[in-house]
Structure 1
Amino acid sequence: MKRTRQYALWLGLLAVPACAQSVDEAAQPAGPDAVPATVVVEGRRPGPGVWKVSKGTHVMWVFGTYAPLPQKMQWDASRVERLVAKSQEVLTPPVAKAHIGFFRGLTALPSLIGIKRNPDDAVLHDVVPPDVYDHWTVLKAKYIGNDDGVEHYRPVFAGEELLLAGLKKSGLSYGGEVLDTIQDIAKKNNVKLSDSGYDVMLDDPRKLVRDFKNSQVDDLVCFTRTLDSLDVDLETMRVRANAWANGDIAEIRGLNFAERRDACLDAVLNSSIAKDAAALRQMRERLRASWLKAAEKALANNATTFAVLEIQDIVGPTSYLAALQSRGYAVESPR
Structure 2
Amino acid sequence: MSKHTTCALYLSFLALPALAQTAAAPEAPAAAVQPAAAEEPAPATVVVEGRRPGPGVWKVSKGDHVMWVFGLYSPLPQKMEWDASHVERLVAKSQEVLQPPGFTVGMSWWRGLTMLPTMIGLQNNPDGAKLQDVLPPDVYAHWQVMKDKYIGNDDGVERDRPIFAAEKLLHAGLKKNGLVQNMDVSGRIEKIAKQNKVKLTWTMLGIELDDPRTTLKAFKQAQMEDLACFTRTVENLDKDIGTMRAGANAWADGNIAAIARLDLAERDEVCADAVLNSSLAKTTSAFQNVRERIRANWMKAAEKSLADNTSTFALLQMKDIVGPHGYLADLQAKGYAVESPK
Q: Distance in 2 between matches of 1:131 and 1:208?
A: 33
Q: CA deviation at 1:53?
A: 0.2
Counterpart code for 1:261: D
Number of positions where the alignment pairs a residue of Structure 1 with one of Structure 2: 318
- Deviation string for 1:283-322 (max 9, x for gaps)? 1111111111100000000000000000001011110001
Residue aligning to 1:15: 17
2:172 to 145, 165, 169: 165
Change (3 A) 1:179 1:286: same
Q: Is the 8 A contact 1:8 1:97 kept in 2?
A: no
Give me the TM-score of the superposition, normalised by structure 2.
Answer: 0.90
Q: CA deviation at 1:208?
A: 1.0
Residue 115 (1) aligns with residue 122 (2):
yes
Runs of 4 or more consecutive aligned structure 1 residues displaced over 6 Å after TM superposition:
none
- Deviation string for 1:90-117 (max 9, x for gaps)? 0000121111112211111111111111
Residue aligning to 2:141: 134
Where in structure 2 are there 5+ consecutive unaligned residues?
A: 22-42
- Deviation string for 1:239-296 (max 9, x for gaps)? 0000000001111112123421111112122211111211111111111111111000
Q: CA deviation at 1:197?
A: 2.1
1:87 to 94, 100, 117: 94
Q: Is the 8 A contact 1:8 1:96 kept in 2?
A: no
- Deviation string for 1:117-139 (max 9, x for gaps)? 10011000000000000000000
Where in structure 1 are there 5+ consecutive unaligned residues?
A: 19-26, 28-36
Q: CA deviation at 1:9?
A: 6.5
Q: Distance in 2 between matches of 1:189 and 1:285?
A: 33
Q: Is the 8 A contact 1:8 1:98 kept in 2?
A: no
2:232 to 215, 225, 231: 225
SS across alignment from 1:12? helix
Q: CA deviation at 1:4?
A: 5.7
Give me the TM-score of the superposition, normalised by structure 1.
Answer: 0.91
Identity of aligned residues (%): 61
Counterpart code for 1:176: M
Q: Distance in 2 between matches of 1:258 and 1:61?
A: 23
Q: CA deviation at 1:16?
A: 7.0
Q: Distance in 1 between matches of 2:11 and 2:309?
A: 32
Change (3 A) 1:4 1:192: closer
Change (3 A) 1:97 1:73: same
Q: Distance in 2 between matches of 1:69 and 1:4?
A: 26
Q: Is the 8 A contact 2:12 2:163 kept in 1?
A: no
Residue aligning to 2:215: 208
Change (3 A) 1:65 1:4: closer
Q: How does 1:119-198 map to 2 (within 5 A)?
A: 119-198=126-205
Q: Distance in 2 between matches of 1:43 and 1:304?
A: 31
Counterpart code for 1:60: M
Q: How does 1:230-241 map to 2 (within 5 A)?
A: 230-241=237-248
Q: Distance in 2 between matches of 1:8 and 1:125?
A: 22
Residue 300 (1) aligns with residue 302 (2):
no
Q: CA deviation at 1:158?
A: 0.5
